[in-house]
Amino acid sequence: MGIFNWGFRTDIRITQGKDEHSAVIANTATGDKVRLDTFFKNAMPSLDVNKKLWLHPLLFNGTLQTLYYAKHDSSDKYLIYYGRELFTYKDGGICSLDWVIPEPQDKHQFVEEYKSTLPEGWPKLHPRSRFFSESELADRKAAGQEDITKPLVVVLHGLGGGSHEPLIRNLADNIHKNSPGWDTVVINTRGCCRTKVTTGKLFTGLSTGDVREPLVEMRKRYPKREIYAVGFSFGAAMLANYLGEHDDASQDDGIVKAACLIGCPWDFVDSNYHLNSSYTGQYLLNPSLSLFLTKIVTNNFGELNGAQPEIFNQVNVTKCKRAKKTLVFDDLFTCRVAGFNNPWEYYREVSPANRIKNIRVPTLVLNSIDDPAVGCRLPYMDIERNPNVVLVETDLGGHLGWVKSNGDFWCVEVAEEYFHKFNQWT
């Protein structure tokens, strides 16, 4: 967007397959059927293309919208509490599953439970988070849990994020208020949100197994629950790659009933050029992301160095710190761990645009074309040809912004409304 396009009102544009190119969803209770494009038109008032979307008047471009999200202190809002469960992958790595739990009546007892459940040598968790006790975990994994039928929303965070992010807490707060009984869980991937790295492997945009394995466990644990999934930024890319990786022989195909992808970088090559060509990307976002990624390595250096010292060593860490670019981090670490010759080879392969045509579940996509972090060349034709995907595009919103006058995030209101209305219909 140019300088004359700045403002606080933006149009909403929708791209999707029309008529025979739009998927049909059925109401299991009544047998009624409706096309996906009709569903969005009639059931989603937040996506009314005939109305302007009004955002915060002081955040009048994508940079300001993005910086608000990245820097704003919202510690006094969305006071969500989490119980943490560790999940071990087949390769020995771990992620942490942060489940939204009710606000404790006794805050002092919550603090005492935090102290008693924190594993030895584990980093201090974010506020209002604690590990589950062994008895609490046993209850969650018990066969009696099969009786639970309320839906479950699974969240994948962005690069450098986790369950502590205001955007994710805003979403969890909306679900808690508007859909009583629903569960929300955040998958904090390897090294993120104070989760340890226990192998020589880091996460990548192609780590679809890191999405699949927890989902398979949730389906086994709760066979009667509808599972919805939402990904933000890098997490959206991981989720899109998982959804588009369907194998006809796969045992877990169809776990996710519907999905939402927010701020997804569809083309990693374009996104990298885009990130390095703007002032915001070059001097603010790129150094911050690079710093976070490097901290994952330094915080888990003993484990990583012990597993692959030829990759994870002080020489490479120093190079990455000096460069302050995600491109350098990917060149030194990501590509070598994942088996790619250079970052561009990795970026071409990891781009979710390669797999969008294979997405088989109803998927809502939200992107803003003033996003300073990811490329804005959106896959319009692929979306029009996939009956299951609907793109919502705005001129203003930045990267994971869409901040309204009250400080809430419009994008999470859309995601919550989508899952709620979809569950009502089907």
pTM listed for this prediction: 0.94
Q: Is residue 1 part of a domain?
A: no
- 185 is written with which tokens? 């869980």
User: Mind listing the pLDDT tens digit for each residue in 283-300?
Assistant: 889 999 999 999 999 999
Q: Are 136 and 114 in contact (CB under 8 A)?
A: no
Please tell me the predicted confidence (pLDDT) of residue 250: 47
- 390 is written with which tokens? 């609907």
| Exposed / middle / buried, residue 278 (Cβ in 10 Å: 0-12, 13-18, 19+) | middle
Containing domain of residue 290, as a range?
Answer: 277-350
Half-sphere exposure of 181 (CA within 13 A, CB side): 7
User: Mind listing the pLDDT tens digit for each residue in 220-266?
Assistant: 999 989 999 999 999 999 999 999 986 544 445 689 999 999 999 99
Q: Are 425 and 27 in contact (CB under 8 A)?
A: yes
Q: Which helix (H) or strand (E) holds 365?
A: strand 363-368
Q: Which helix (H) or strand (E) holds 13?
A: strand 12-16
Q: Is residue 341 part of a domain?
A: yes
| Exposed / middle / buried, residue 321 (Cβ in 10 Å: 0-12, 13-18, 19+) | middle
Catalytic residue IDs: 233, 371, 399
d(CA 81, CA 169) in angstroms, rounded, equals 9
- Percent of the chain at pLDDT exceeding 70: 94
User: Mind listing the pLDDT tens digit for each residue in 8-34?
Assistant: 889 999 999 876 778 888 877 677 888
Candidates 137, 133, 125, 197; CA nearest to 162 is 125
Strands 389-394 and 363-368 come out as parallel
- 150 is written with which tokens? 């309320």
Q: Are 244 and 253 in contact (CB under 8 A)?
A: no
What interhelical angle do 166-178 and 410-425 show, nearest 10? 40
Q: Is residue 321 part of a domain?
A: yes
Site of tokens 């030829």: 310
d(CA 169, CA 318) in angstroms, rounded, equals 34
pLDDT band at 144 (very low <50, low <70, confident <90, very high): low
Q: Is residue 176 part of a domain?
A: no
Asked if the model's pLDDT at residue 110 lies above 50, the reply is yes
d(CA 244, CA 363) in angstroms, rounded, equals 11
Q: Is residue 305 part of a domain?
A: yes
Widest Cα–Cα separation across the chain: 64
- 104 is written with which tokens? 């404790």
Q: Which residues pair with 13 in a beta bridge?
A: 393
- 42 is written with which tokens? 């009639």
Q: Is residue 409 part of a domain?
A: no
User: What is the number of domains present in the chain?
Assistant: 1
Q: Is residue 323 part of a domain?
A: yes
| Exposed / middle / buried, residue 222 (Cβ in 10 Å: 0-12, 13-18, 19+) | buried
Cα separations in angstroms, 190 against 73, 78, 167, 183, 213: 25, 25, 20, 22, 13
* Maximum mean pLDDT: which of 8-17, 66-75, 182-191, 319-328: 182-191
Strands 389-394 and 12-16 come out as antiparallel
Q: What is the DSSP string of 237-299?
A: HHHHHHHTT--TT-SSTT-EEEEEEES--S-HHHHHHHHHHSHHIIIIIHHHHHHHHHHHHHH
- Percent of the chain at pLDDT exceeding 90: 74
Mean pLDDT of 152-156: 98
Q: Is residue 336 part of a domain?
A: yes
